[in-house]
Structures are given as C-alpha cells and as structure tokens.
Structure 1
C-alpha cells in the first residue's frame, strides 16, 4: 500500500522560500526603490540635495548621449541575436547528427566560455585585437591579408562590431545547451517518417526542428535581448565606451555619469530609463512574436 506524504504546512513552504525572497529583496527590490528615489533629487553623494521631481527624466529625454548609448545597445543586441542564436541553432543541429563523435566533449568546450568572467573575456580579446602584437592582426598578416589589419578597438567605425564579437562568442554555448535540450525532446519517430519521405538534413532542420523549437526560440530570444541590453563588463574592460562615445552602452553611460561625474541623481534616472527601455523592447518583441504557448 502506497504511503501518501503529508502536505507541507504553509509556514514550512514560506521558510524554504524566505532566503530567496530576502536575496531578491536586498539585491533587486530595495536598490530599485532607492534608484527611483535618488532620481528625483539633485544628488551628488553624501547629504541629499534639492528635490527636482521629474527634471532628471526631462533632461534624460533630451540627452543625445543617452540615446546614442541606447542605439549602441540595439546594434549589439541585434548582432547578438543573429550571432548567438543563429550559431547556437546550427551547432545544435550539427551536434545532434549521428556522425558527430565526442558530442559531450564538443558541447563542453563550446559551453566553457559561458562560465568565464566577462572581465577575463574582455581582457583576452583586447590582447587579441591589439594592433601591434595581437594574434588577429598577426594571423591576417601571415596569410597575406595585411590590408585587412585594423585598429579594431580604436576605429569608431568598427569598434561596435569588435566589442560585439566576444559577447557573441562567450554566450553561444548557453543557447546551444538550451536548443540541444529542446531537440532531444522531439520524438525520433517524426524524423524517421521525414526520412522515409526523402527529407534531407537541411529540410528536416527547416521544416521539422525549427517549427518544433518555436517556443524555445522565443524564450532564448527574450533572454538574449535582456542580457545584451544590460551589457557592461566586456565593453568597460575593452574600450571604456570609447573612442569617444562610439561604443558606450546604457550601463556604461550610467556608470560614467554616476561615478565619473558624481551626478548620482541623474545617473539613477539613466538607470531607470535603461530599465524602462529594456522592458519596452522585450514586451514589443514578445508581442510581435505572439508570446509563448507554454
């Protein structure tokens, strides 16, 4: 006779949830409330300054540097969606193929950059991009493409693409794991029937795998947008937002205003503006894609 476990009391459930609630309270909710509070003042640290109401937000709407940083975030996010999700999907299809050997090894190697600190990734890629002794320019020179050698992090025209490359490289593994897990849940019978009908690997990927992963791709897309709209570490290490403001993103601009100019009140307004724009972008994309069915 099966024993039925007693239903846990509400206080027990709350006790297990309490640590997570407290952590979120102290690292998310309280800082957010304080940021909103400080954004209503002319605050430079120390004693609270004058109450200015929504003046900081009115200034933010007219701030060309802020909107330029938002544009940079959009460019990085767009490139990352194509790069991270696109490469991850292709690699997931390839690694699920029967002819691929050492599948676990390849998956581990591709996922490894995800666990590396963003500061380390930024520093390593900075060395790779160095015009004088960087491995990238050395490689181009060795294969006869000296004309392609560039000051990758010093040219305002290409720096945004240069800083996006390590971001794409670092997080391909994350979406690879997500897609591979979803592909493993697709019944093999579906592929077998498609093979009987003469479907090739490419046709199976386009007409079976892609539609079956629709909800997973939507979730991955939301994660990709949310992650890249708050990107900071890599760019801070690689360029500091330069040259000029050509690679400045919203988080970097908020940092510069708050801790470079000590305009903590306005910096808080920049942070709140970044949150609002990121949420609006996620909601718009989610609405355009019709949300998820699960």
Structure 2
C-alpha cells in the first residue's frame, strides 16, 4: 500500500531540485566567491591583484577582528543564558496551573521575534537615548540623577546595552521550540512526580531538563550561529561604537568592504566569520553532547 502511494523518484527529484538549487545559489556560491576574492587585493573595481594568503596573515594579526570576535563570544554567552535560559523558565511558568490565558502569553511572547531587527535596534536606541530615553527618564523620576548616563557611549557597559535587545527579541522564539518539546512529554510523568512531592524547581532540573536536553542542544546551536553573525541590531544602535567597543565581526566585514572599499580583505573577514563560527558551534555541541552522554550513563 505504501509503495502504491509513494511518488516516483523523478517526481521527488523534481520537487527538490529548485529548493536545493536556490540553497546552493544563496549559500555555497557566495561562500565560494568570498573565498576566491579573499586571495586578492581588490578595491571593488575591475582590477584585482593576486596576493595569495596575505589577507589571511593580516587577519591573524588584526586586533580589531579579534576584539570583534570577543564581542561575538560575549553576545553568544549572554544570549544562551538570556534567551534560552529565560525562555525555559518562562515556559515552565506558563505551563503551570496558576497561569491563565496560556495562548495569549505565548502569542505576545513570540511577537517581538517577528519584528525586523533594524526596528528593534531603533526602538531600543530610543529607550537608551540620553535626553528622551525611557531609562534616563525613569532614573530621574525615582531621584537617581547621578545614575543617568549616555548609555550608547559608555565603553564599560555598551556590550550589555546592545545584548539586551537581542535577548528581548528572541526569548519568544525559543519559547515556541521549548514549549513544543515539553508538550510531547507524557503528562503522567509530571503528575507522578508531583504526587511524590517534587517541587517546581526539582521537576524542572531532574525531569523536564533531561527529557528535552536534545531540543535544548538545537536551541543552543541556533543561538550560537545567530549571534556569531549578528549585524542589524549593532548597526542600528551604535555602528560599532564608541570606537570599536561594540563592533562585531559581520559589521567589521561590512566596514572593510563597503566603507573602506577593501573588498578582498572584507571577504577574508567573512571567511574568518565562517571558520570561527564552525569551530565555536562544534565546540559547544561537543561539550553539550559530552554532558548528555555523561548524564545518560549516570
């Protein structure tokens, strides 16, 4: 019966041909082009000078690139805790018996992730504005004028400031993923644990977390990949400033390629983003899988 309704191989190939072709054209072709142009000194015009791996040798010694890489790693760490961690806690709260209108909470939580990242950046730029921003207005209202700052021009706190919009926007996105994983867990497990006297924290740590840890691994992978190529929020809020204190790798590549017209070196930075992202994602996955295997053996 299954063979009777299964489409022929050429039909399957026909359905998949154009999506695969589009994926190759939009992902692998630009990557191959960037790798090719990274071997040249190219200012964007018709003339290119082949220089081999000189751009890569320059990249290894480029302190701004490695500073930007550190900022990306900071955003990854902040968003893994802020996005996935908070999403996990909020999902547990929404799933509790005390919360009503669960569907409304889920919809409102997911809504920010549907807004353009540039809009989010501009909204939070107004929130942190020195003269008319909500943060400074509130500090003045409660009598804390001494705490009023030019938030977008403070080198010591600027990375925390730009991380807040990222965390706020995508909490709902990870809530949907985690909620779908928890929904697939048999409800009897929670009922039995509650009868046995397990409180909410114990159920979260010893029951929910082990059962959905593979879904959480997917969330961590998506979070790392997304924050290693973050661009829109930073561009809208700070343009990488003050100085290079909030610069990230994708923005640095943009600056080199289009503002300084160094397309060859900008392509090299893009390849650097690709390689460092793969290494970081692979390292995170190995750590999580090692923890998962250890907990399973235990």
TM-score w.r.t. the length of structure 1 is: 0.96
- Secondary structure (helix, strand or coil) at the match of 2:48 reads coil
Structure 2: any 5+ residue segments left out of the alignment?
Answer: 294-298
Which runs of structure 2 are paired with 1:178-217 in the superposition (5 Å)?
Answer: 178-217=177-216
Task: Report Cα offsets for 1:224-268 as digits up to 9, x if no partner.
Answer: 000000000000010000010000000000000000110000000
Comparing both structures, which one devotes a greater share of its residues to helix? 2
Does residue 1:280 correspond to 2:279, yes or no?
yes
1:54 aligns with 2:66: no
Q: Which residue of 2 aligns with 1:40?
A: 39
Take 1:48 and 1:250, find their aligned partners in 2: how far apart are those partners? 26
2:241 equivalent in structure 1? 242
Distance 1:192 1:244 in 2: 55
Contact 1:35–1:272 (CA under 8 A) maintained in structure 2: yes
Q: Which moved more, 1:43-52 or 1:214-223?
A: 43-52
SS of 1:45's equivalent? coil
Distance in 1, matches of 2:259 and 2:8, equals 51
Pairing 1:90-109 to 2, within 5 Å after superposition: 90-109=89-108
* Cα RMSD, aligned residues only: 1.4
**What is the match of residue 268 of structure 1?**
267
**Structure 1 Cα separation of the partners of residues 213 and 282 of structure 2:** 17
Distance in 2 (CA, whole Å) between partners of 1:289 and 1:203 is 21
Cα distance in 1, alignment partners of residues 286 and 200 from structure 2: 32
Q: Deviations over 1:69-100 (max 9, x none)?
A: 00010111111111001110000000101121
Is 1:290 the counterpart of 2:286? The answer is: no
Structure 2 Cα separation of the partners of residues 234 and 27 of structure 1? 23
- Residue in 2 that maps onto 1:158: 157
Q: 1:184 to 1:79 in 2, by over 3 A?
A: same
Structure 1 unaligned regions, length at least 5: none
Q: 1:128 to 1:211 in 2, by over 3 A?
A: same
- The alpha-carbon deviation at position 136 of structure 1 amounts to 1.2
Counterparts of 1:58 and 1:3, CA distance in 2: 57
Q: Distance in 2 between matches of 1:4 and 1:62?
A: 59
Secondary structure of 1:243's counterpart equals coil
Counterpart CA distance in 1 for 2:236 and 2:108 is 24
**Which whole-Å CA distance do the structure 2 matches of 1:154 and 1:90 have between them?**
32
Aligned residues: 292
Given that 1:41 and 1:48 are in contact with CA atoms closer than 8 Å, whether structure 2 keeps it comes out as no
Task: Tell me the secondary structure at the aligned position of residue 290 of structure 1.
Answer: helix
